Structure 1
Amino acid sequence: MTQAPVRPDDTTDDIAGSTPAGDILDIAREQVLERGDALDYDQVLQVLRLPDDRLPELLQVAHDVRMQWCGPEVEVEGIISLKTGGCPEDCHFCSQSGLFESPVRTAWIDIPSLVEAAKQTAKTGATEFCIVAAVRGPDKRLLSQVAAGIEAIRNEVDIQIACSLGMLTQEQVDQLAAMGVHRYNHNLETAKSHFTNVVTTHTWEERWDTLRMVREAGMEVCCGGILGMGESLEQRAEFATQLAQLEPDEVPLNFLNPRPGTPFGDLDVLPASEALKAVAAFRLALPRTILRFAGGREITLGDLGAKQGILGGINAVIVGNYLTTLGRPAEDDLDLLVDLSMPIKTLNDTL
């Protein structure tokens, strides 16, 4: 286990490295592929600025790094929304905010439905099932529901259980750890310098503090974000570097799927070439991390992009639908993995 992350104000304002002269992909081969040393901020930015005609070469380097330092296995995960809609926060990308005129209504699912969702997830070969709630942080009712759900799932399904319940207090962290939560997801969402353009009702540092407590409690840290929210290439590189400083066990990469009624509802979808360069760049900044395809990849990349991403640094996928948007059929992703001769990581491999 890596050490607990330090406060971001101690580290993230000084992220530029000293990039040696030379072609950035040659540097990546020697530095990341051969030695396992991550690219720094300046180097990640060079990768993001590569012309489109070098994209196939870049994806090959990122794939080679993934195979060298992570292996061929792909971790499969399913997610379920325990509590949907009505969130008091103003995350500008999210249709579950109660502050926006978006069509998502508040709803809870019951324990039998939660168990059934876990069963269906396990049938895909998934090793991870994540219980998600649209909240600033969990109250007693939500934690009680989560505890009951985890107990019921454990009685019937052999699968690792993760949670994503917003910002936590130390007491709540300890409760989740005692429940046996394997991994906790709490996304930083974007670079620290861009965060106030995305969220104003809480701070980047508050999210970081939750991640610090999660790590110290012994749970795995899952932390990523969304690309295509108006950030610059410099901020994209900043975000990759800040995640590398956090040293999460998993980084889910989402791509903005503009939701009607949200402040980001009219933003353009990220071009596929930019999205794929970002996938490769994040792999080169995080050579040993689980890098997971998450929301928005269907609208951003399409079916061909799924293959290119998995051959360009990705080594984990969320299968099926997301929280409020549709994903690819799970069978399509599983068939693709078979076609690429990439085995699904088994439950024993995650223990």
Structure 2
Amino acid sequence: MRDAFRTTTTKETPVTAVPDTDVLAYAREQVLENGVGLGEAEILELLRLPDDRLSDLLALAHEVRMRWCGPEVEVEGIISLKTGGCPEDCHFCSQSGRFPTPVRSAWLDIPNLVKAARETAATGATEFCIVAAVRGPDKRLLSQVREGVQAIRADGNDIQIACSLGMLTQEQVDELVEMGVHRYNHNLETARSHFAEVVTTHTWEERWDTLRMVREAGMEVCCGGIIGMGETVEQRAEFAAQLAELGPDECTMNFLIPQQGTPYEHYEIVEGKDALRTVAAFRLAMPKALMRFSGGRELTFGDLGTRQGMLGGINAIIVGNYLTSLGRSAGEDLSMLDELKMPIKAVSDSL
């Protein structure tokens, strides 16, 4: 965990010029040799590399991952405790109650939550994330989370428990710490300059404040976003630099799944080569973070592209289904990791 939570990303910072040398050669020295992530200008150069240099970029990102993170892969399962009916208007999300999507509000009972945690642990996963579609948790939701965590532990399951429950107050942060939640996911979703185009019911800064409180309380920070929501390549570089400044313990890499009924239902899926370029560039911005393949990888990459991503900077994955979208089977992903000779990180290694 980082020693301090830096807050300079809430201000616009100028983009400095890329050094007068090949960006991959510069990245090899700064990131691979010294473990220092690239800045926004260099990240933009990487995102603009031509296709004939993509394999070199991916190879360097893999070297960086292996040097600063090692070969282990953290495997996680996620479950929705409260689905649908969210009051926020995140334009990508089928769980928003503001859009005519097929998703309806529903709660998961505790026995099924325990069953899901047990099945997740059986895959070899070390992380189980409890997710709720809310602006922030109310007393009922926090009570359900507490009961669920207690029931999972009573079942003899020592899997690490993370939560993603929206924006928090300090009291709620403290309560999650007391429950034993070790990591909190709250995505910034996109670059600060693009956020108002994606969400209008709350601000980028409100999300930032939750992340600050989470870090200061001693929980690990999981933060990433979604690529393919109409942002420019410059804004992708901006987003990578803002995440790097945040210094998350884990960065989630999602790619837009156009959801029926949402404002983004007709958006095009991110092209595979652009997605791989983005993964590698984000790795070179954050050489020591967990980088997790999350939603949209099946549509964007397919099987071959997923393998390329695992060899291009990724060192964590979600197995099984996502919140409202189908994923690959856990068995397929675990077989892929075995073929790539990437061992699953043990629970004891994650503590």
* TM-score, normalised with respect to structure 2: 0.98
Listed as ranges, the gaps of 5+ residues in structure 1 are: none
Give the deviation of 1:162 after TM superposition: 0.2
Residue 152 of structure 2 corresponds to which residue in structure 1?
153
State how far apart, in whole Å, the 2-side matches of 1:284 and 1:259 are. 30
Q: Within the alignment, does 1:75 sit opposite 2:74 as a pair?
A: yes
Give the deviation of 1:155 after TM superposition: 1.4
Residue 166 of structure 1 corresponds to which residue in structure 2?
166
State how far apart, in whole Å, the 1-side matches of 2:141 and 2:170 are. 16
Residue 28 of structure 2 corresponds to which residue in structure 1?
29
Residue 124 of structure 2 corresponds to which residue in structure 1?
125
Q: Is the 8 A contact 1:81 1:131 kept in 2?
A: yes
Give the deviation of 1:8 after TM superposition: 5.0
Moved more, 99-108 or 23-32: 23-32
5 Å-filtered alignment, 1:33-182, equals 33-156=32-155, 157-182=157-182
Q: Give the partner amino acid of 2:99.
A: F
State how far apart, in whole Å, the 2-side matches of 1:79 and 1:324 are. 11
SS of the residue aligned with 1:148?
A: helix
* TM-score, normalised with respect to structure 1: 0.98
Q: Within the alignment, does 1:14 sit opposite 2:13 as a pair?
A: yes
| Count of matched residue pairs | 350
Q: 1:244-272 CA deviation, whole Å, 9 max, x = no partner?
A: 01011000100000001000111000000
State how far apart, in whole Å, the 1-side matches of 2:36 and 2:250 are. 18
The list of structure 1 runs, each at least 4 consecutive aligned residues, that deviate by more than 2 angstroms after superposition, is 3-10
Q: Is the 8 A contact 2:173 2:213 kept in 1?
A: yes
State how far apart, in whole Å, the 2-side matches of 1:348 and 1:203 are. 37
Residue 266 of structure 1 corresponds to which residue in structure 2?
266
Give the deviation of 1:60 after TM superposition: 0.2
Let me know the Cα RMSD of the aligned residues. Answer: 0.9
SS of the residue aligned with 2:205?
A: helix
Q: Is the 8 A contact 1:15 1:241 kept in 2?
A: no
Q: Within the alignment, does 1:198 sit opposite 2:182 as a pair?
A: no
Residue 221 of structure 1 corresponds to which residue in structure 2?
221
Give the deviation of 1:3 after TM superposition: 3.7
Q: Is the 8 A contact 1:7 1:209 kept in 2?
A: no
Q: Is the 8 A contact 1:8 1:208 kept in 2?
A: no
SS of the residue aligned with 2:193?
A: helix
Q: Give the partner amino acid of 2:35.
A: G
Q: Give the partner amino acid of 2:265.
A: G
State how far apart, in whole Å, the 2-side matches of 1:228 and 1:48 are. 14
Listed as ranges, the gaps of 5+ residues in structure 2 are: none
SS of the residue aligned with 1:13?
A: coil
SS of the residue aligned with 1:76?
A: strand
